Amino acid sequence: MPAPAAAAPARVSPTSPPSSAASGFLRLLGFGLAGVAQALSIAWPGDGRPLWWLQLLSLAGLVWLLDGLRAQGAGWRRAGLHGWVFATAWLTGSFWWLFISMHTYGGLPAPLAVIAVLALAAALGLYYAVACAWFVVRGPAGRIAGAFVFAALWTLAELVRGSWFTGFPWGAGGYAHVDGPLAALAPWVGVYGIGAAAALAVALVARRLPLRGVVPTALAAMLLAAVFVLPNVVSPLPADARGAQGTAGTLQVALLQGNIPQDEKFIPGGGIETALRWYAEQLRDAKAQLVVTPETALPLLPRQLPAGYLDSIQERYGQPGSQQAAIVGLPLGDGPGTYRNAVLGFMPGGAAQPYAYSKHHLVPFGEFIPPGFRWFIRMMSIPLGDFERGGLAQAPFVWQGQRIAPNICYEDLFGDEIGANFRDEATAPTVLLNVSNIAWFGDSVAIDQHLAISRMRALEFARPMVRSTNTGATVVIDAAGRVTHQLPRLTRGVLEAPVEGRRGLTPFARWVAPFDLWPLWIAALAIVALGAVFFRPGRTRG
C-alpha cells in the first residue's frame, strides 16, 4: 500500500489579511492618529486657526473605530486601551509645550520633562478610556440611542477632566468650534455643550449601523438640524440686550505687551529693570481711559519695588478729575504662603488702598504644590511657586460706567467660575479682562490655544474680552467672539483700541451662575443611565 502523499505546504497569498498582531497595531495607530487630529483642530500649527471640521473628522474616526471594536466583541480592557491611546495622543499634542516651561525655564532635565508631559496626558486620558470602554461594551446597539450615549459619555469625560483634582480642561474639543457653525451654541450651553453637540452629530453620522425606516431617518435629520441650524437663527439675548440697546458704552483701552523674555524676567539687572522701566514709561505716557499691563508685569513684591514706584502710579492716576485709570499686574504678599498672583487698580479719587483682584484658580505645580509633589517642584527653578488663593466672584473694577471683571492667565479656562460673576444681572460685568504671561511656553501654539479659550468665554457670556499679555496674544475680542484689534506676538508695543461694553445675560450665564455645571453633569449621567437600563447592548455589524 503506497504511503499517502505529503500535504503540500500552505501557500500564503500576497493579498492575505495581515496577522492579528499587525492589524492590532494598525488599529492602535488609527486611534492615535485620530487623537493627533483632535489636538491639531484646536489650533492648527502655523496660523493657529481652530479647525472645527477637523475636530468632527477626528471624533468620526473615533466613533467608527470604536464600532469596529464592538463588532469584534471587544471587552472592557481592550476597548479602554484603544480609547486611552486616542486620548493620550490628543492631550499630548494639545499641551506638549509644558515641556518648554519645565525644561527650558524650569531646569528639569529633558528626559524627565518628556516623561512628565506624557504622564499627565496618560493620567487624564484614563477618563476617556473609561468612556470609550463603556460605549463599546455597554452602549446601546441602536444608532440614535447609541449616539446620545456616546455624546453623554464624551461630555462626562470632559467634565471630569475639567473639574477633578482642580481640573485641567485645556484643549477641550469644543474650542475647535469657535469659528464654526456650532459656535452659536456657546451662549446657550457653553464649551462643554458644544462638545456634546459635536459628539452627538458625529455619532449619528459616522456609526457602522444602517438607518432603517422613515422615522429614525427623519429623527436623525431633525437632530442634526437642531444642532447646526437652530442656534444660528434664534437669538440667545432678550430684545432689550441686542444691538445698540445692549451697549454699556465704549471704553478706550491701552493694552501693554512688554515682551520680556521669560529667562530674563526675574533676573536683577536684566529683565526686572527692563520691565520696571518700560511699564513705568507706558503708564506715565498713556492717553487711554484704561491702561492695562500683563500678569506679573512688575515681577517684584511691593516691598521689593524701588521706593515710591507704586506711589507714582497712584499719583498719576489718582488725581481728582482725571479721566484715566490703570490695572497693573504684580505679585502681592509678605512671604511664602501669603503670595498672591494679583492685579491692582488705580483710579481718580479712589480709596486709600487701590482696587485688588487675586487669582482664584491656581496652576498646579506653578502656583501651588499638590500634596506629595514637593519633590518634583524642588527639581525646578520656579519663582514664587506657592500662592494663596483669592476668592470666587470678586468685585469688579468699576470705571467709566463699565464693570470690568479681571481674570489671570488660565483662569479664563473655567467658564463656570467666570459665570459666578453673573449671579446678579444688575451688577454683572460689562467687560471681561484677562492678563497673562504665556512666555513660559515660548513661541508655541499655546498662545493660539489660549486666544481660542478667551474667544469662547466672550461667546458664552456675550461680553467683550480684552487681553494684555507679555508675549501674546494681546487682543480686543468683541461680544461675538471676534478679534477686532491685535498686536503681533513676541513684540513690544501698546494696543490702543475701543471696547464696547455689553449688558444682558445669555442663557448660559443664567444657568451656570446659580448651578455651576451641574445641569450638564445630571443630563449626561441620566442619558448614560437610561441607555444602560432601557436599551440592550449589542454588537455593531460591519
**Which DSSP helix (H) or strand (E) runs through 144?**
helix 143-163
The residue from 132, 158, 359, 367 that is catalytic is: 359
Average pLDDT, the chain: 90
Give the tens place of pLDDT for each residue, 260-299: 999 899 888 889 999 999 999 999 999 999 999 999 999 9
All residues at 6 or more sequence positions from 531 whose CB lies less than 8 Å from its CB, including other chains: 138, 139, 140, 145, 146, 148, 149, 152
252, burial (CB in 10 Å: exposed 0-12, middle 13-18, buried 19+): middle
Does 119 score more than 80 pLDDT?
A: yes
Chain-centre distance for alpha carbon 103 = 23
DSSP result, 386-451: -BPPPPSSPPPEEETTEEEEEEEGGGGG-HHHHHGGGSSGGG--SEEEEEE-GGGG-SSTHHHHHH
Residue matched to cell numbers 519645565: 102
pTM, rounded to two decimals: 0.92
Report the CATH fold assignment for 239-505: Nitrilase/N-carbamoyl-D-aminoacid amidohydrolase (3.60.110)
Q: For the chain, what is the largest distance between any 2 Cα atoms, rounded to a whole number of angstroms?
A: 122
Residue 359 annotated as catalytic: yes
Task: Report the alpha-carbon distance of residue 78 to residue 409 in Å, rounded.
Answer: 39
Q: What does the angle CA 461 – CA 464 – CA 465 come to, to the nearest 5 degrees?
A: 100
Residue range 233-256, pLDDT digits in tens: 888 887 667 776 788 899 999 999
Q: Which tens digits make up the pLDDT trace of 453-489? A: 999 999 999 999 999 999 989 999 999 999 999 999 9
Which member of 158, 295, 367, 417 is catalytic? Answer: 295
Residue with cell 508655541: 444
- Catalytic residue status for 409: yes
The active-site residue out of 132, 158, 409, 500 is 409
From 3, 49, 69, select the one nearest 207 (Cα to Cα): 69
> Could you tell me if residue 442 is left (phi over 0), alpha (psi between -120 and 50 degrees) or otherwise beta?
left
Query: Residue type for 347, please?
Result: M
Q: Dig out the grid coordinates for 463 from the structure.
A: 461680553
- The pLDDT value recorded for residue 335 is 74
The pLDDT assigned to 536 comes to 67
pLDDT digits (tens, 9 = 90+) for 377-427: 777 777 656 789 999 999 999 999 999 999 999 999 999 999 999 999 999
Q: Is 265 noted as a catalytic residue in this protein?
A: no
Distance CA 229, CA 95 (A): 32
482642580: which residue's cell?
166
The predicted pLDDT at position 224 comes to 85
For residue 7, name the pLDDT band (cuts at 50, 70, 90).
very low
In whole angstroms, give the CA distance from residue 385 to residue 214.
Answer: 61
Residue 64 — very low, low, confident or very high, per pLDDT cuts 50/70/90? very high
- How is residue 100 annotated by DSSP? I
The ranges assigned to domains in the chain are 23-236+518-534, 239-505
pLDDT at 6 over 70: no
